[in-house]
């Protein structure tokens, strides 16, 4: 899958939506030709799935990645300790890549092989026994990958810090994903066994993401519409997390909600259209792929819920009107599907040679893989929100889809960032990680802030236990007492 790196200043180029998955490492490894911007892994999900290895791979070459937990627990022989790794990372960001290499490799204070482990790369078996300089290309990748990450702001660590940021901030960017809708029965995409992608084997796709691929949709829209009913909300309801975003709006704190969701539930909660950027579009409207006639999503809601392919009513009316006109010579279909020149039109008894007019398919106005994000996304982020924002809250997303995944890195690094989801991500450096069910986390934050988040899904006497994660001063797990 292609990569879309975060822009370094200026307006983000208009790029198609892509899935950020594995990073391709060429064989032989060449540091001059490889730029690693984002690495995703099984750990970076909204699920509890953890039965894979983090790797960079291409063909038969696999470079295994090391997680901080493995360094902390001493599971990698010859590797840096977690404390050493953190110190090396901080030093890299403080002095830059050239000075860092001078201080370490040139002065021979540490080997390139060991330094790779500080930046999350396992020394590969195929380099075992080779001179230390053989690890240089891998280390160059590791340093570039780390240097592109946003460094954590050290002054923000505790839940109290998060609550204080909520109270004091005036222009909050909220970036949301599928995790904020799962409590409503709408599946996310990647959770093991329950995520939407895990249920698509019967479609015969080589990759379940193809269900949202624009090229696949054009070839066979029935694939998408066979699952569309499962991600389309049936009622005008919203989760406590949607209510939290509305509460920020009511308090005059919400700058923009950048949502990757296509369910349009933010509107049910009362978040104003001018406060929402639908990064991947939504089911709120649909457009004919042929005549571009646009309708409200409600107009095709019933057909989608029945698993049918909605057709354009305007196209149908036009076809019916044409059928009532005097019939002249029929237009013969050319071999490439286009009409032949008029001189080649001829009558024939072979009806299969003639083009039979059909209505266009009504495609919901969601952004498929391979389509560009709306212009509003990049323009608003760079030219409006970037300089106004004083807090970023990322909720319910594993940040796997570019270019939205690049938002935390595009914003100024001085802006504090809070991450709320079931499991942490490792490719972006947040200041505070609040782990657990999104609804539980935001309701507890509101209690501590003295705010009234009124929602029928929040038990009146709910008690939430907050536990720090060992080895991480800024990572905390939220769980309902007794759950």
Binding site for Zn(2+): residue ranges?
288, 291, 312, 315
Secondary structure class of 175 (helix, strand, coil) = strand
Query: Which of 366, 375, 419 is CA-nearest to residue 394?
Result: 419
The b/e string for 327-364 (b: 16+ C-beta within 10 A; e otherwise) is eeeebbeeeeeeeeeeeeeeeeeeeeeeeeeebbbbbb
Strand partners, 287: 294, 363
Residue of 66, 62, 100, 98 lying closest to 82 (CA atoms): 66
Strands 432-435 and 475-480, how do they pair? parallel
Q: Of 280, 427, 455, 476, which is the active-site residue?
A: 280
Q: Minimal CA–CA distance to 253: which of 456, 464, 445?
A: 445
Does the annotation mark 242 as catalytic?
A: no
375 closest CA partner among 6, 12, 8: 12
Using an 8 Å Cβ cutoff, are 231 and 224 in contact? no
**Do the Cβ atoms of 432 and 33 come closer than 8 Å?**
no
Catalogue the E-assigned strands of 373-472. 391-395, 401-402, 417-421, 432-435, 464-468
Distances (CA, A) of 447 to 150, 159, 271, 457: 30, 12, 21, 15
Terminal-to-terminal C-alpha distance of the chain: 39
Nearest to 66 by CA among 120, 128, 136: 120
Kindly provide the b/e burial profile for residues 226-235, where b requires at least 16 CB atoms within 10 angstroms of the residue's own CB.
bbbeebbbee
Spatial neighbors of 379 by CB under 8 A, at least 6 apart, are 11
Q: From CA 399, how far away is CA 385, in angstroms rounded?
A: 19
Q: Which residue has the tokens 């730029």?
A: 35
- In whole angstroms, give the CA distance from residue 160 to residue 464: 15
Q: How many CA atoms does the CB half-sphere of 452 hold within 13 Å?
A: 1
Note if the bond before 300 is cis, omega within 30 degrees: no
CA separation for the pair 210, 214 (Å, rounded): 8
Residue holding tokens 């490492």? 25
Beta 281-288 vs 294-296: how paired, if at all?
antiparallel
For the chain, the residue count is 483
Whole-angstrom distance, CA of residue 436 vs CA of residue 442: 10
Which segments are annotated as binding site? 288, 291, 312, 315
Active site residues: 280
């Amino acid at each position: 899958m292609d990569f879309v790196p975060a822009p370094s200043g200026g307006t983000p180029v208009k790029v198609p939506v892509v899935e950020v998955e594995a990073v391709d490492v060429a064989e032989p490894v060449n540091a001059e030709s490889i730029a690693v911007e984002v690495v995703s892994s099984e750990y970076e999900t909204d699920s509890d799935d953890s039965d894979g290895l983090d790797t960079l791979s291409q063909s038969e070459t696999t470079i295994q990645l090391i997680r901080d937990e493995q360094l902390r627990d001493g599971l990698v022989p010859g590797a840096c300790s977690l404390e050493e790794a953190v110190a090396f990372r901080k030093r890299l960001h403080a002095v830059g890549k050239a000075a860092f290499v001078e201080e370490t490799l040139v002065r021979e204070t540490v080997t390139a092989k060991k330094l790779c482990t500080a930046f999350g790369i396992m020394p590969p078996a195929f380099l075992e026994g080779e001179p230390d300089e053989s690890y240089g290309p891998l280390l160059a990748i590791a340093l570039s990958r780390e240097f592109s990450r946003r460094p954590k702001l050290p002054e923000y660590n505790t839940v109290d810090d998060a609550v204080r940021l909520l109270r004091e901030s005036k222009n909050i960017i909220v970036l949301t994903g599928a995790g904020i809708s799962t409590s409503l029965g709408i599946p996310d995409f990647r959770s093991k066994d329950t995520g939407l992608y895990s249920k698509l084997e019967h479609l015969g796709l080589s990759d379940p993401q193809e269900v949202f691929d624009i090229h696949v949709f054009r070839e066979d829209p029935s694939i998408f519409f066979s699952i569309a009913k499962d991600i389309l909300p049936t009622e005008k309801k919203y989760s406590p997390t949607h209510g939290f975003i509305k509460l920020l709006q009511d308090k005059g704190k919400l700058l923009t909600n950048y949502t990757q969701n296509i369910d349009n539930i933010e509107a049910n909660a009362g978040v104003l259209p001018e406060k929402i950027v639908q990064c991947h579009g939504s089911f709120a409207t649909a457009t004919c792929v042929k005549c571009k006639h646009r309708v409200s999503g409600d107009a095709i809601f019933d057909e989608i819920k029945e698993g049918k392919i909605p057709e354009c009513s305007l196209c149908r009316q036009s076809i019916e009107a044409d059928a009532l006109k005097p019939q002249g010579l029929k237009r013969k279909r050319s071999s490439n599907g286009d009409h032949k020149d008029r001189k080649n039109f001829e009558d024939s008894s072979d009806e299969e040679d003639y083009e039979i007019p059909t209505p266009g398919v009504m495609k919901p106005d969601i952004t498929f893989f391979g389509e560009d994000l709306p212009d509003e996304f990049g323009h608003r982020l760079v030219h409006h929100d970037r300089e106004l924002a004083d807090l970023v809250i990322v909720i319910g997303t594993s940040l796997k889809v570019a270019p939205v995944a690049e938002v935390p890195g595009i914003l100024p690094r001085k802006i504090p960032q809070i991450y709320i989801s079931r499991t942490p991500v490792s490719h972006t450096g947040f200041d505070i990680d609040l782990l657990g069910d999104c609804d539980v986390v935001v309701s507890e934050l509101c209690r501590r802030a003295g705010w009234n988040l009124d929602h029928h899904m929040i038990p009146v006497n709910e008690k939430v236990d907050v536990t720090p994660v060992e080895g991480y001063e800024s990572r905390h797990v939220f769980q309902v007492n007794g759950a």
